[in-house]
A and B are shown apart, each in its own frame.
Chain A
Amino acid sequence: MSDTTMFELVSPERLLMSRDVSMVVVPGGEGFFGVLPRHSPLLSTLVPGVIDVYEDGTITDRIFVAGGFAEVTEDRCTVLAEEAVAVADLDVAATEQRVVDLRDELKDATGNEADRLTRRIAELETVVVAMKLAKGS
Chain B
Amino acid sequence: MPSLKDLKLRINSVKSTQKITSAMKMVAAAKLRRAQEQAEAARPYSVRMDRMIASLAGKSSGVGGPKLLAGTGADDSHLLVVMTADRGLCGGFNTSIVRATRNRIRALELAGKKVRLICVGRKGKDQLRRDYASLITDSIEGITRKKVEFSSADEIGGRLLQMYENDEFDICTIIYNRFQSAMTQIVTEQQIIPASVPGVDEGADGAAGLYEYEPDEEGILAELLPRNVATQIFSALLENTASEHGARMSAMDSATRNAGEMIDKLTLTYNRTRQAFITKELIEIISGAEAL
Q: Which residues of A contact B (CB under 8 A)?
A: 8, 10-15, 28-30, 33, 40-45, 69, 71, 73-74, 78, 80, 82, 112, 115-116, 120
Contacts and interface: CB of A to CB of B under 8 A. Distances in A.
Nearest to B231: A12
A47 to B, nearest CB: 10
10 contacts: A10-B44, A14-B42, A29-B219, A30-B215, A42-B211, A42-B212, A43-B52, A80-B45, A80-B49, A80-B227
B205 to A, nearest CB: 9
B212 A80 contact: no
B210 interface: yes
A41 B213 CA distance: 9
Contacts, number: 87
Given A12-B45, A45-B224, 11 more contacts: A11-B45, A12-B42, A12-B46, A30-B215, A43-B214, A45-B223, A69-B52, A71-B52, A73-B207, A80-B49, A112-B162
B22 interface: no
B150 A13 contact: yes
A120 B155 CA distance: 10
Interface in B109-165: 150, 153-154, 158-159, 162-163
User: B-side binding surface: helix, strand, loop or mixed?
Assistant: helix
Interface of B: 38, 41-42, 44-46, 48-49, 51-52, 55-56, 150, 153-154, 158-159, 162-163, 166, 207, 210-215, 219-220, 223-224, 227, 230-231, 234
A28 B159 contact: no
A113 B80 CA distance: 20
A12 B56 CA distance: 20
Instruction: From A28, A43, A73, name the one whose CB has the most chain B CB atoms within 10 angstroms.
Output: A43
A45 B207 contact: no
A11 B153 CA distance: 13
Contacts of A11: 45, 150
Nearest to B148: A13
Nearest to A82: B150
A68 B36 CA distance: 25
